[in-house]
Amino acid sequence: MNLILLGPPGAGKGTQAAKIIEKYDIPHISTGDIFRDNIKEGTDLGKRAKEYMDKGELVPDSLVIEIATDRLTKDDCKNGFLLDGFPRTVDQAKALDEFLAGRGDKVDHVLDIEVPKEELMTRILGRRVCRKCGATYNIPNMPPKVDGICDVCGGELMQRADDTRETVENRIEVYDSQTKPLLDYYKEAGVISRLDGTTGLENVFGVIVGILGD
Ligand code: AMP
């Protein structure tokens, strides 16, 4: 099962990803997480990516494609994967298709989670992420049991460095101009399903399971 999660920043991709990988037992591949890990470790890749991420811009295709396809060659991706945050441009999508075709594989489903623009800013500014395990919360929609502490591992919750009002505005604009064209690309391929991301996380997940099957 080769899956892609699409949708603007704040649509709930990360939250749904956590549920999908648990149910279908496939790895979660988030290019944003790969970059954040590299920034934390102070690698060269992290330094290069940070320049773009801090401004809410896209990291150049050549760099992202190399990282994503390299991750897809790992053993745990043999029986499928869930891509979250990749591809984000038509050129990335084409490169992914070529890479998969090279091993007789393809994208099976693209799940596009739609949320109106007005709601995205509130959601993102309320987002809190566990510093240790990466679990995501939302104030006030999905708060942790204890303020500032992760329910899963007891780690400290923080705000992502790029979850500021200014950066988010840019990320939403970038999504509209560079990522939205992907919807047509995958519509033509006949693999996309559009989901209403405002109906609550359990409902959205129910629809996803309806599409993917048990
Ligand atoms: P995310 O965690 O998916 O919201 O990504 C955070 C940031 O990482 C984005 O705003 C981009 O700067 C960068 N990034 C992540 N994935 C990609 C991608 N596929 N193409 C370009 N930039 C990306």
Q: 3-state secondary structure string, the chain?
A: CEEEEECCCCCCHHHHHHHHHHHHCCCEEEHHHHHHHHHHHCCHHHHHHHHHHCCCCCCCHHHHHHHHHHHHCCHHHCCCEEEECCCCCHHHHHHHHHHHHCCCCCCCEEEEEECCHHHHHHHHHCEEEECCCCCEEECCCECCCCCCECCCCCCEEECCCCCCHHHHHHHHHHHHHHHCHHHHHHHHHCCEEEEECCCCHHHHHHHHHHHHCC
Both 25 and 60 in a single domain? yes
Q: Cα(214) to centroid of ligand 1, in Å?
A: 30
Residues whose beta carbon lies within 6 Å of some atom of ligand 1? 9, 30-32, 35, 52-53, 56-59, 64, 85-88, 92, 162, 171
Domain of residue 148: give its range: 127-162
121: in domain: no
Are 82 and 152 found together in one domain? no
Q: Are residues 23 and 80 in the same domain?
A: yes
pLDDT at 118: 87
Q: Let me know if residue 187 belongs to a domain.
A: yes
The answer as to whether 203 is a domain residue is: yes
Cα of 85 vs centre of ligand 1, distance in Å, is 6
pTM of the model: 0.93
Give pLDDT < 50 ranges for the chain. Answer: none
How many domains does the chain contain in total?
Answer: 2
Say if residue 73 is in the same domain as residue 45.
yes
- The domain that holds 9 is classified in CATH as 3.40.50.300
Instruction: Decide if 122 is inside a domain.
Output: no
pLDDT in tens, 110-140: 999 999 998 999 999 999 999 999 899 999 8
